[in-house]
Structure 1
């Protein structure tokens, strides 16, 4: 009788282990496979230590809070990330403002939409020859980016600085829209990624923040800063996704993972007032 009782106990234990094992293989691997499916790749431009740290923090939140694995792909210029999103090579991108996206969609028959705000980065007019706007001589050459949205933004910087006047009522402008140029400044249109590199061969240059630091441009070379006001909304940077995927839960989780108090702290730490978190700014 005793042996029979021991045998029944052993059989019961074995049965319990079989049930536990079956449950593990039924649910455990499935959970892992689900996690592998929740991978989101975000494209950025000109990765720096600061960007890396900010997106690493967002990745931690995405993983811990939403179960999303966030991967970053770096691009070297502004022409690539929207194509990559539209073609499905990456899921999201975070490099452009509303105006750039609008211009790109118009030129490329749409395909990318904004699903969340990130920052606004007031751009600057830099010079290695002069320390004040008033020192710019007549006929000075000023370099500006040549893509539609960034050229327009650069010209508005010059307008707000009081250097030129632009044709009113235009959302996007070019050098042809300059209606007053008292000092006859020469506007030199070049690729955005080259604006900082030509600083020694021009009198001044409006340089996007992504390319200013790599060119060694900082506070010392700054002679004017773009104001942030009610007209600045079009220059707010966004996270972009393929049209039709605006409500993708994993993508929205990435947006939420980025828009945190810790991200704000990191922006302040690495950028000071050069880049400002914009998701809760009022315009």
Structure 2
């Protein structure tokens, strides 16, 4: 068991996760209810498989029937697609991202997705199969980071806060590789976020998003060499919809359920390893 270096990450608003691979294709009979104009139809929601899909399946099976809500959960393994599907009306909502990622996506794609309610945080961590503490990283060591802008900056900030690299003053979690003032001889490689865990053995260390750590059976509380602190962390993942759908009664029902005591207990019981932490409350637009 490795010693976890508890890290206070001073992060500014920055981004979400980025997955790789391809999305699950939705059958033709799962057109979003909003397209049909039927507010009594199931709420179709796009989500990453873990932990978002797992949590939604719990809500769908255990809580939604109690409030007369029908859910249809469509899992995606590519974070580039849920927002597009939401914007195009193929789904009614999504649950997979945080604010910095959404802001970047909306800006780059001209979309109009807005957050509704915060649900959870997946702390970013540094993992390795070759070293036992970050001070073991020497000149020539390799460290992989997610290559999407929001997560890359977040990863570089985590490395800087733990003394692995030095960033230019003031860049914070918006950092890019060009903002690395001193890499101390460590070679930083960029990978799609979904590849950081599968290719962990190819590098000396990797910065991995919480959801991918879960999928790779890594336990943040015991396996991470450095881990973001949850308190004050701005990277809460939230329920999101296309602007104008925030007051859809089905969306409001789901938002309330996702912030319920039952879901809090489910998350804490399911993810005792600290890979997922409840982070309830209103999401900033």
**Structure 1 length-normalised TM:** 0.79
Task: Judge conservation of contact 2:196–2:206 (CA < 8 Å) in 1.
Answer: yes
Rounded Cα–Cα distance in structure 2 between residues aligned with 1:216 and 1:245: 36
Deviation at 1:139, TM superposition (A): 2.3
- Which runs of 5 or more residues in structure 2 are unaligned? 1-36
The reply to whether residue 90 of structure 1 matches residue 91 of structure 2 is yes
The reply to whether residue 268 of structure 1 matches residue 268 of structure 2 is yes
What are the Cα deviations for residues 72-127 of structure 1, in whole angstroms up to 9, with x where unaligned?
Answer: 10001211111110111111111111111111111111321101101111111000
Q: Higher Cα Rg: structure 1 or 2?
A: 1
The aligned residue for residue 76 of structure 1 is 77
Rounded Cα–Cα distance in structure 2 between residues aligned with 1:228 and 1:218: 15
The reply to whether residue 227 of structure 1 matches residue 235 of structure 2 is no
**Structure 2 length-normalised TM:** 0.79
Aligned residues: 242
Rounded Cα–Cα distance in structure 2 between residues aligned with 1:199 and 1:224: 15
Task: Judge conservation of contact 2:45–2:95 (CA < 8 Å) in 1.
Answer: yes
Q: Which structure exhibits the higher relative contact order, with contacts defined as CA atoms closer than 8 Å and separated by 6 or more residues?
A: 2
Pick closer, same or farther for the CA change 1:168–1:250 going to 2, 3 Å: farther
Task: Judge conservation of contact 1:123–1:226 (CA < 8 Å) in 2.
Answer: yes
Rounded Cα–Cα distance in structure 2 between residues aligned with 1:251 and 1:280: 15
Rounded Cα–Cα distance in structure 2 between residues aligned with 1:217 and 1:274: 9
Pick closer, same or farther for the CA change 1:163–1:236 going to 2, 3 Å: same
**Two-structure CA RMSD over aligned residues (Å):** 2.1
Deviation at 1:129, TM superposition (A): 0.0
Give the match's secondary structure for 1:241: strand
Task: Judge conservation of contact 2:114–2:240 (CA < 8 Å) in 1.
Answer: yes
The aligned residue for residue 138 of structure 1 is 139
